A and B are shown apart, each in its own frame.
Chain A
Amino acid sequence: MNGFVSRGFKRRRQTSEELEERLPPGQYSEPGFPVLTAGPTPEISKGDWTFRIDGMVANPREWSWEEFGGLPFEDIPCDIHCVTKWSKLGTSFGGVSVDVLLEQAEPLDAYAMVYSYGGYTTNLGIEDVSDGKAWVVTEHEGEPLPREHGGPARLLVPHLYFWKSAKWVKGIRIIDHNEPGFWESNGYHDRGDPWKEERYWTD
């Protein structure tokens, strides 16, 4: 705190105390679901969609849309936080826990590079995608995930800024070192914990 006060600024948005506690520093509550994507939106049909886990794993795996549909499906109520300052509180997704996928592939090392149709990548430590913290989701609030929000499937990692929740996700590569993904190479924080306000490289 540097004691600076903006002359004549008065708070205009009121948020209930309960919701206030769920808003990380510098975020505001946004009822809508804005779309922010780098580059054109890719179009992937369910017939062409596959999801794979490869790299340093004992058992590289690939699932078709149909095979993926046979995996245990969960409802995930959560709050999501975008680095551009909006948070969407009390939303929900439906999909498969990354734990289920990793269990079958048996990772042999500690870093995950998530990659998407269209070329997007984002890096995560394996601890951030395991133990019930990450999912590959195909539904949002009970409906099929819209294409503009990453449909047919996106990663969901609600405890980190939302750029980590890669849209149009295609797979996870397990590697033996940390390496920046797309936004992490373009000025954004390596890990992106909203509660520590890890927005940019220097945070």
Chain B
Amino acid sequence: MAERMTPVEVRAPGGWQIGTVTSIKAETPRTKSFRIKLPMWIAHLPGQHYDVRLTDPDGYRAQRSYSVASSPLDEGGVELTIDRLEDGEVSPYFHDVVEVGDLVEVRGPFASYFVWRMEKPVLLLGGGSGVVPLMAILRHRRRTMPTLPMRLVYSVRSTEDVIYGDELDDDSLLTFTREAPESWKGHRGRIDRELIAAAGIEPGIAFICGSNGFVETVSQLLLAAGWEPRQVRTERFGPTG
């Protein structure tokens, strides 16, 4: 009985809780999505992140932050998409050890800058695994206001780097910077002025996520295309191993 009585204060965002992994999807050879059921779930804003904490038997701990990929309409849990970094400590654990049914310690959702609050029109620009928080925004829009003007421009190196490939639709523009599939008729090369113009989104709000170099280049392209700095939100990957 006592177990079922959750104290009110720990329902506030930010408390550590133990979630259960309910599904694992290999998105690419180095990226997996984990659905985690949470005992104290609250709706996140698309773009927010969770912290994950691992503890070994000696009490050693490692923490990292991961963006939520799911829409807040998926009640009771979150999807975290985790890129495997070879010399990392947390991401290899998720890739090599975690199975469905495992318990993982997490807390969130956090931060309210790189979040979508239904502003429009929306241009999403992602490089590599920088697409993850953008997918939360895109998925949420598809389920709540599918006609709201929003476009994802997504830059990847090659076919095997495409995360969420089966979900990319007319609202997404993909470009391959190194190697495109043979039959590919779409864009090639890095995001440039022409590709941004092809997205057909008037300055409204832009979310850019990727490596520092990617974010720097793309944000300068937007400024050159007439966007105001206050219309451009960025999230740069720090090392998250």
Q: Which residues of A approach B to under 8 Å, CB–CB?
A: 1-2, 4-13, 25-26, 28, 30, 32, 34-42, 82, 84-86, 118-119, 148, 182-183, 186-188, 199-203
CB closest residue in chain A, given B48: A187
Tally chain B residues at the interface, Cβ within 8 Å. Answer: 51
Residues of B within 8 A of A200 (CB): 13-14, 110
Mark B61-98 against chain A: 1 for CB-CB distance below 8 A, else 0.
Answer: 11111000000000000000000000011001100010
Mark B90-122 against chain A: 1 for CB-CB distance below 8 A, else 0.
Answer: 001100010000111100001111100000000
Q: Give Cα distance in the complex from A9 to B92, angstroms.
A: 10
Interface hits, B10-42 → A, CB 8 Å = 12-16, 18
Q: Give Cα distance in the complex from A26 to B61, angstroms.
A: 7
Judged by DSSP, the binding face of A is: loop
Is A85 a contact of B216 with CB atoms below 8 Å?
no
Output the residue of A1, A11, A40, A188 with the most chain B CB within 10 A: A40
Is B62 a contact of A4 with CB atoms below 8 Å?
no
B139 in the interface (beta carbon within 8 A): no
Contact of A12 with B55 at beta-carbon distance under 8 Å, contacts A28-B62, A38-B113, A39-B232 already known? no
Could you list some 6 contacts between A and B, CB below 8 A?
A9-B56, A28-B62, A34-B236, A82-B238, A85-B65, A187-B113
Is B18 a contact of A202 with CB atoms below 8 Å?
no
Could you say which of A84, A85, A202 contacts B12, with CB atoms under 8 Å apart? A202
Is A148 a contact of B212 with CB atoms below 8 Å?
yes
Q: Give Cα distance in the complex from A86 to B241, angstroms.
A: 10
Is A35 a contact of B212 with CB atoms below 8 Å?
yes
